[in-house]
Structure 1
């Protein structure tokens, strides 16, 4: 029916951000960067990493712990001067699918969570002999006083584990390693953010890398500042960009934020990251069902349950290229318990999913523009933006939408900037950070 095509166009228009809006957002983001760097507040923390980047010549075998979302990964990694090789790797969910454990819940303690991490480290080492420097990628808002210490500011990504906020995660891990009998074999050397890990990994082989970014379950970016006045030196700065509060928000963003565990926090992350895109889609669908009679005006119990949809659902919906959108129909039956739908209703659903994902990509592109302007106002240098994360890698059309937005914003300077996918940047980057610290302590 024609009305569903009109409804889709109306929603697409409400979610679409033209270049002028993105440019204005980039200016606000750059202002927030400068406020954070000079200690004048603002929504960007601009946290020092205490690392200036690798030389590309680091060598040896190091442990990497990557903890920042739904899965924890531990790897034993060999660095060989610009190249890396994983000798062993383990991955475990923080929340067991069968409900046996959930270390992210509020009733879980810091000791339980970090004992879980220590057990994975022990399993990863296995029969490998020697002592290992460990780099720890900790992908939550944390304040560092040095490279080996990081205090959790607050949980994000719906984590609520008790006894971690306000505490040094480096010490919590050291205590857990001691309880596990690993105190003499594992040397916690560096704590970094996953974005810093991505930047270090890319810089290890590409010296033009200026920005490291994660677009996955969560979202954050860092960059290499050529001169940080507080340290009188170059340094990688973890922006905690997911907390930026100057992005143009829709009524659905306001609704999602108000119903979240931490209203007012991580505003940009709630608009762009994989954890929240499914919820945005759910809220839009509920509005259409309740106010416009979509799918006969009957909302299923599934759609009435918060966070019942995920970014993977947006991917599935966009991937259907059939004339009748039969896969979207199958999705409605399997995921939303909606048995009957018209083709135009299915097309509406697909267009909303695509518009939600495209808006995410364009918002992220605006933040990159702000960083590029801050570091190189005339854009005379070459810049590589290194990105890791399932949303950027796997969401149909996402990478293309981001790169098109950058080209639109950079205009004739677009050729100065390239974007690359960096796989497992959090792991290799943690190993590189450990190697940098190990070299400095020799």
Structure 2
């Protein structure tokens, strides 16, 4: 009978084998290729948000967080002392959640929600959490409306242009809209939170259902942008697609079992949308190889919540299945190894953007958001235990923070730092 440790080692899944130092050159190389427009698993998407050294003070901007289900709108500004101030935040359901809408109706409803705020400001920044192609004028072309929102005939429409037109129809003329990805907004949130703290650069990471990181890059390094130029720009790495990470035979087999094999390779080893199913796949493989005396044939697929419950206190669907102490201990060892490995991969992702970021000094503020990062047993601790000593060893002094209302604050920086 195979032990859990033997199983992990035979399949080359041992979490301690993931070494950020050894993996860094490959990750940075992939980032550079993406910036040059060469074939790369990291798309390195320019946001066209170029940051000035000074954020405009005492100037209000409308910030819109168009999320997967909810919509939040606020008027924000930075006061003369650099502190961040918002008027009352309004929350709504995203149009299209309750019923399917035509595109024009979708834009009109969004504009109607924004309209009352235009009495205070005409500059609007929208964080759009859906597939879209960011354009050089910092508008976006909608690729797809996904998640719980149902909108017909929106593909190919320019979000900012359409909402501006709807606002004008409703009496608010002269509005200016820019659009950012939600992970870009998160990258900028730390700058909003720590405006006066002397950081040399800022990065942002999301680890929830999916995984991504953004950072600030020198424009001169973005070779795929015609003309180049000086200054800095926020880059959306699309980190969930990174493919040069070491994968076991189980990772490869699990990837082949998913709806889109070969896509989102890194995300399938780290994010909340995949950790549960990967753990399920691994437990069933271990059962076939004789690790558990009583096998593993749970009728449902193990979820990420199930994994967290079991690792936290032995409860949930996995805890109810494994009643024998030996099988229970083996399952815990296998699942904890997968989660801690995800923590180390997260450390690699975050370390790479800190290393590559345009820096005025050695201090980097790293904002991270997401329920998987905050709630998954052991993951956050492992990531920080690996990340911070590594960065310190190469001369980068990093602070990892979470920011309340991160997306709204990032929108404000995007609108007031151009």
Would you call these one fold, judging by a TM-score over 0.5? yes
Could you tell me whether the CA contact under 8 Å between 1:174 and 1:188 is conserved in 2?
yes
Tell me, yes or no, if structure 1 residue 316 matches structure 2 residue 309: yes
Distance 1:26 1:264 in 2: 22
Could you tell me whether the CA contact under 8 Å between 2:30 and 2:42 is conserved in 1?
yes
Distance 1:216 1:88 in 2: 23
Q: 5+ residue gaps in structure 1?
A: 102-107, 438-442
* 2:411 match: secondary structure: helix
Could you tell me whether the CA contact under 8 Å between 1:76 and 1:87 is conserved in 2?
yes
* Residues 203 and 294 of structure 1, relative CA distance in 2, 3 Å threshold: same
Displacement of 1:91 after TM fit?
5.4
Could you tell me whether the CA contact under 8 Å between 1:199 and 1:211 is conserved in 2?
yes
Tell me, yes or no, if structure 1 residue 138 matches structure 2 residue 128: yes
Aligned to 2:224: none
Aligned to 1:221: 213
* Residues 259 and 375 of structure 1, relative CA distance in 2, 3 Å threshold: same
Could you tell me whether the CA contact under 8 Å between 2:209 and 2:372 is conserved in 1?
yes
Displacement of 1:139 after TM fit?
3.6
* Residues 128 and 273 of structure 1, relative CA distance in 2, 3 Å threshold: same
Aligned to 1:347: 329
* Residues 199 and 183 of structure 1, relative CA distance in 2, 3 Å threshold: farther
* 2:86 match: secondary structure: strand
Deviation by residue 1:227-250 (Cα, 9 ceiling, x = unmatched):
435233211111112221111122
Displacement of 1:425 after TM fit?
1.5
* 1:87 match: secondary structure: coil
* 1:228 match: secondary structure: helix
* Residues 78 and 369 of structure 1, relative CA distance in 2, 3 Å threshold: closer
Aligned to 2:49: 51
Distance 1:281 1:34 in 2: 33
Could you tell me whether the CA contact under 8 Å between 2:291 and 2:330 is conserved in 1?
no
2:204 to 207, 212, 233: 212
Displacement of 1:120 after TM fit?
6.1
1:427 to 405, 408, 417: 408
Aligned to 1:105: none
Deviation by residue 1:289-318 (Cα, 9 ceiling, x = unmatched):
344274733513212xxxx613x3332222
Tell me, yes or no, if structure 1 residue 87 matches structure 2 residue 88: yes
Could you tell me whether the CA contact under 8 Å between 1:226 and 1:234 is conserved in 2?
yes
Distance 1:95 1:272 in 2: 30
Distance 1:246 1:157 in 2: 28
Distance 2:399 2:356 in 1: 17
* Residues 130 and 409 of structure 1, relative CA distance in 2, 3 Å threshold: closer
Could you tell me whether the CA contact under 8 Å between 1:281 and 1:356 is conserved in 2?
yes
2:383 to 369, 389, 402: 402
* 2:276 match: secondary structure: helix
* 1:51 match: secondary structure: strand
Displacement of 1:29 after TM fit?
1.4
Displacement of 1:94 after TM fit?
9.0
Deviation by residue 1:136-157 (Cα, 9 ceiling, x = unmatched):
2124554322243223567888
Displacement of 1:178 after TM fit?
5.8
Distance 1:412 1:344 in 2: 40
Distance 1:5 1:151 in 2: 49
* Residues 128 and 190 of structure 1, relative CA distance in 2, 3 Å threshold: closer
C-alpha RMSD of matched pairs (Å): 3.8
Could you tell me whether the CA contact under 8 Å between 1:382 and 1:416 is conserved in 2?
yes
Aligned to 1:201: 189
* 2:203 match: secondary structure: strand
Pairing of 1:112-127 with structure 2 (within 5 A):
115=105, 119=109, 122-123=112-113
* 1:214 match: secondary structure: strand
Distance 2:111 2:250 in 1: 41
Distance 1:192 1:355 in 2: 36
Distance 1:161 1:4 in 2: 51
* Residues 32 and 93 of structure 1, relative CA distance in 2, 3 Å threshold: same
Could you tell me whether the CA contact under 8 Å between 2:212 and 2:238 is conserved in 1?
yes
Could you tell me whether the CA contact under 8 Å between 2:18 and 2:341 is conserved in 1?
no
